[in-house]
Amino acid sequence: MSGRPRQAALAVLLAGVAGFVDAVGYLLLHGLFVAHITGDTDKVGQGLARASFATTAPIALAVLEWTLSIAVATLAIELATRRGMRAPVAVALAVEAALIAALMGWRPSGFHAREALAVCAMGVQTATVAKWGRQTIRTTYLSGMLTRLAQAAAHLVARPARNEPSYLRDTLGLDDRRHSAVMSLLYASLWLGFVGGAVAGAWTTTHWQLWGLSLPLAGLGVAVGLELR
């Protein structure tokens, strides 16, 4: 597998990993989203409105950790790239796998240690964006991907004529109908991958507890292999 098929497979695989870990985090960390930080930010706002600072502080800390882990991982990938390191994204994904392995195998005591491992793992993955051609693909949150899916589908339904103004073409940059069809399929696959990962994460957490994280670890192993190729 090479080129764009490999990139698409990597993106869908990582979306499945994110959905899995997000579901595990939600179930074991008292409703905390470790990948979908928009939901956590909304919880922070609700807590502040109720002046419930004791329960809001851990959620706000998770948002901060997620943001900082993205910054650190991005800087590390940038420095590695400048130094000519081969496949720096593969190294970052290996770091993510190490964080998940620590969450699964070492069983650190306390909410905060487990929360930090899960959130930082997802932050590192968020920094390692997947690519499809020149298109940037985020794999830990799908709001943008669903927006693009809907807009690409709209382009397939209402293709603009060359001689008329078009929001689809002039503002959104949607001009090639074949490209819109391919991207619609990719975005739908990302959503299904995330949902499938969440289903697997919820099921294994109920039956296997943290040992279910061996599945996203295996997925990350495959992802590292794809990046090294």
Q: What is the pLDDT of residues 140-167, one digit of tens each?
A: 988 888 998 999 999 999 888 888 899 9
Q: Which domain holds residue 51?
A: 3-228
Cα–Cα–Cα angle for 71, 73, 185, rounded to 5 degrees: 95
**Whole-number Å distance between alpha carbons of 178 and 133:** 14
Stretch 46-71: mean pLDDT: 93
State how far Cα 147 lies from the chain centre. 16
User: How many domains is the chain built from?
Assistant: 1
Of 105, 133, 125, nearest to 223 (Cα)? 125
Stretch 156-185: mean pLDDT: 88
**Whole-number Å distance between alpha carbons of 154 and 156:** 5
In which residue are the tokens 């603009």 written?
A: 160
Confidence (pLDDT) at 42: 93
Neighbours of 152 (CB within 10 A): 23
Task: Report whether pLDDT(108) > 80.
Answer: no
Confidence (pLDDT) at 76: 95
Task: Report whether pLDDT(23) > 80.
Answer: yes
